[in-house]
Structure formats: C-alpha cells, structure tokens
C-alpha cells in the first residue's frame, strides 16, 4: 500500500526593519497569510542602522498586533536573507510594493536574492490603496512632532510611539479630552 505523504507546508518569509510595524505591513501580512500556510515576519538585526525601537520592542509590537494567529511567526535574523530562508525551508520571500518608487530597489534585491538562492521566489504584494503613502519613516517623523498617526499603525505601536514621543501623547490626550467634552 502506498503511503500518502501530508502536503508540504508552504512557508514564506516577510523580512524587513519594521521600525515600527505599520498598517501597511499588517495589510501585506494578511494578504500573505491567504496564500501561504505559514508566514514568518523576520526582523533584520542590524547594529549599524540606527533604529527608534530595539529589536525586542519590535518583536513584541508585532506579536501583540497579531495576537493568536498560529500561522504567523515572528523572528529575527542577521546575515543574508537567503541563508535564513534556506534554514526555514521557505519557498518565498514576501515584499510589499507601494508605488513605482519602490520598484527599482526591490527589483535589484530580488534578482540578487535569486542569484544567491535560485529556489526561493520573491513575491510582491500590493498594499491596499489606503496605505500607499505610509512608511515607517514618515510615520516616525509625523509622530515625533505630535502628528496624529492613530489610524496608520496598530494599537500596540501607537502606545509605544506615545511613550517615545511626549508631544504625540499630549496631542492625542488633548484630542480625546475635546471629544469627551463635546
Ligand atoms: O524594511 P527594509 O529595511 O526595506 O528591509 C530590507 C531587508 C531587511 C529586507 C534587506 O535589507 C535584507 O534582506 N537584508 C539582509 C542582507 C541581505 O540578504 N540583503 C539582500 C541581498 S544583497
């Protein structure tokens, strides 16, 4: 009798800095979860790049934002992305694509990754239109000067941004108070 093997789990890696996670990233993760059995959000440990949040803070924010989805894993990596993908037996690397401006660098990175590891495919997912202009850096810049970024990031990220930027916390508390007294 021939034994039927269980279908192979299809794992995708979603790598990035995630400093911090935005609703645009969340949108891409949700789309990836519809295609793959398992998605690993992999934060690059990069001591040479100055980040607002520590790697541990970023891990925690992503975990809190995706509470309870067993198909989603969060991890860190260093060195080459393709080596990490190989170690995880991933079939794909996910990257979000917002606009034409993302294309050139993503194209270059995807081709380099293919050269280094031909069996992993780069898969580009379009974010929802409402997130087309968001990025971690623009959100950090707005938050730093007290700009309301509430609907651009998941709640755990908003809380951490308020901790980092007192002006943001002050402005958001004021808005809440105004709404409460109306
Ligand atoms: O969110 P980011 O900063 O655009 O993510 C970039 C990231 C982490 C995906 C990229 O820098 C990366 O994969 N770095 C690891 C080193 C590597 O493998 N580079 C690609 C081949 S040169």
Per-residue pLDDT of 14-58, as tens digits, reads 999 999 999 999 999 999 999 999 999 999 998 888 999 999 999
Asked if 149 contacts 21 with a C-beta cutoff of 8 angstroms, the reply is no
Residues 100-118 pLDDT 10s: 888 999 999 999 999 999 9
pLDDT score of 77: 98
Neighbours of 100 (CB within 10 A): 7
CB of residue 132 inside a 6 A radius of ligand 1: no
Beta partners for residue 96, in sequence order: 125
CB of residue 17 inside a 6 A radius of ligand 1: yes
Task: Given the residues 98, 140, 158, 160, select the one marked as catalytic.
Answer: 98
Task: Determine which residue's CA is closest to atom 11 belonging to ligand 1.
Answer: 16
Is residue 136 among the annotated active site residues? Answer: yes
Is residue 4 among the annotated active site residues? Answer: no
Residues 114-172 pLDDT 10s: 999 999 999 999 999 999 999 999 999 999 999 999 999 999 999 999 999 999 999 99
CB of residue 113 inside a 6 A radius of ligand 1: yes
pLDDT score of 180: 73
CB of residue 40 inside a 6 A radius of ligand 1: no
Strands 72-77 and 92-97: unpaired
Q: What is the mean pLDDT of residues 49-76?
A: 94
Task: Determine which residue's CA is closest to atom 16 belonging to ligand 1.
Answer: 80
Q: What is the mean pLDDT of residues 75-96?
A: 97
Q: Which of 53, 81, 84, 124 to mutate to test the pocket of ligand 1 (most atoms within 8 A of CB)?
A: 81
Asked if 113 contacts 122 with a C-beta cutoff of 8 angstroms, the reply is yes
Element (H, E) at 156: helix 155-164
Is residue 50 among the annotated active site residues? Answer: no
């Amino acid at each position: 009798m021939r034994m039927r093997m269980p279908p192979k789990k299809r794992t995708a890696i979603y790598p990035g800095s995630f400093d911090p996670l935005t609703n645009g990233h969340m949108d891409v993760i949700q789309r990836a979860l519809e295609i793959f059995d398992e998605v690993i959000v992999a934060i690059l440990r990069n001591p040479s790049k100055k980040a607002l949040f520590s790697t541990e803070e970023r891990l925690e924010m992503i975990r809190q934002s995706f509470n309870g989805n067993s198909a989603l894993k969060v991890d860190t990596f260093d060195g080459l992305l393709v080596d990490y993908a190989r170690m995880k037996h991933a079939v794909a690397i996910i990257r979000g694509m917002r606009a034409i401006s993302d294309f050139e660098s993503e194209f270059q990175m995807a081709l380099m990754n293919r050269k280094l590891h031909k069996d992993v495919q780069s898969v580009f997912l379009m974010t929802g239109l409402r997130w087309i202009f968001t990025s971690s850096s623009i959100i950090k810049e707005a938050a730093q000067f007290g700009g309301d970024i509430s609907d651009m990031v998941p709640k755990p990220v908003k809380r951490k941004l308020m901790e980092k930027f007192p002006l943001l916390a002050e402005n958001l508390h004021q808005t809440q108070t105004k709404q409460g007294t109306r």
